[in-house]
Amino acid sequence: MAGEEKQAGSIWKLLLAMAAAVVMIVGISQVSEAGVAETVYAMDQDGMEEDAVLFPNMSDSWAEVTYSISVREDGALQIMDSNGGFVYDMLVVLVGGELCYADEEGIVPREQIVSYNGKKYYAKKDGSIAVNEFCKMKDGNMVFADSDGTLAADRTLSKNGRRYYAKSDHMLARDGFYKTAKGSLVYAMADGELIAGKSFRVNGTQYYAKLSGAIAMNSFCLTEKGSKIYADHFGAVVTDRMFRVKNKLYCAKRSGALYRNGLYTLKSGKKIYALLSGVLMEDEVFTVNGDRYYADENGYIVSSRWVTVGDYRYYCSASRKITKVEHI
């Protein structure tokens, strides 16, 4: 009997302990809920809404700013953005797609060269920046704006199959000779177009401009007509005389074309023979169409006399053909 009472007492103690644990858990849960409620209440007091916290509305800061031209009462142009503010010292793209620049005072320049970020642009009469076009300035000078609006400088450019040279000051070269940034010589006509791929004369002197526009200098060139010419170190084409290059003899016609590949009679009545390269035969016996001739040290074919070459003597007849040969 005593053992049964002892066992019953142990069971009651276990039940009381379990009940106490349940009460404690419920209390903690209530305290936590109260704390959360206080936190939510505090956030509400600060004016923060749940959807504003989770999904912030950034549409205002993400909106694209656009630009348009505004005309002042005095006729000056300004650039206004879509927020109602004016633009200062900025290059922008207008709503219509044109480039436009506003200076430090917010004014849009017109008919003048402007500088921005170390680059030059040309503002046209309507205030827009020139793009991929030639522009004539008030003083008559011409400039060319590339596809990004920057003005060409110190380089040759092509437009509609024609070539031009923009100087270091961005003005197109016109009506004269100019030395390019790369050291080439070019010649620009009155409208700025460079002479290219042909011969031309200036003050009685002949020149040849290559397809690039660069004038041939100190070199041989084949012209647009297939003739071979030689330009000296000044760019002048050698004409109507004999000359030497690297100790080889050549003769140029009045047109500047070299005598090549055949026998020729000069205005003086003297005869010469030129190889295909233009080099003249000199101090040598040579054969043309089965006949032999002798050209002296000046390149002229000898006639009516004996000449000695090596161990042989040759007689050059009146026709300049060699008719007799003797071994010495």
Q: How confident is the model at residue 154, as a pLDDT?
A: 96
pTM comes to 0.70
10-residue block means of pLDDT along the chain (328 residues)?
46 50 42 34 37 40 80 94 95 95 97 96 97 96 97 96 96 97 96 95 96 96 94 96 97 97 96 98 96 97 96 96 94
Q: Cα separation of 17 and 203, whole Å? A: 124
Could you give all domains of the chain from N- to C-terminal order, each with its CATH number?
66-151 (2.10.270.10)
Confirm if 322 and 315 have CB atoms less than 8 A apart.
yes
At 58-101, the pLDDT tens digits run: 344 445 899 999 999 999 999 999 999 999 999 999 999 999 99
Q: Cα separation of 133 and 143, whole Å? A: 8
Structure letter (DSSP) for residue 37: H
Of 149, 151, 143, nearest to 100 (Cα)?
149
Q: What share of the chain in percent tops pLDDT 70?
A: 81
Of 260, 193, 184, 275, nearest to 226 (Cα)?
260
Q: Cα separation of 79 and 70, whole Å? A: 6
SS3 assignment, position 302: coil
Q: How confident is the model at residue 63, as a pLDDT?
A: 58
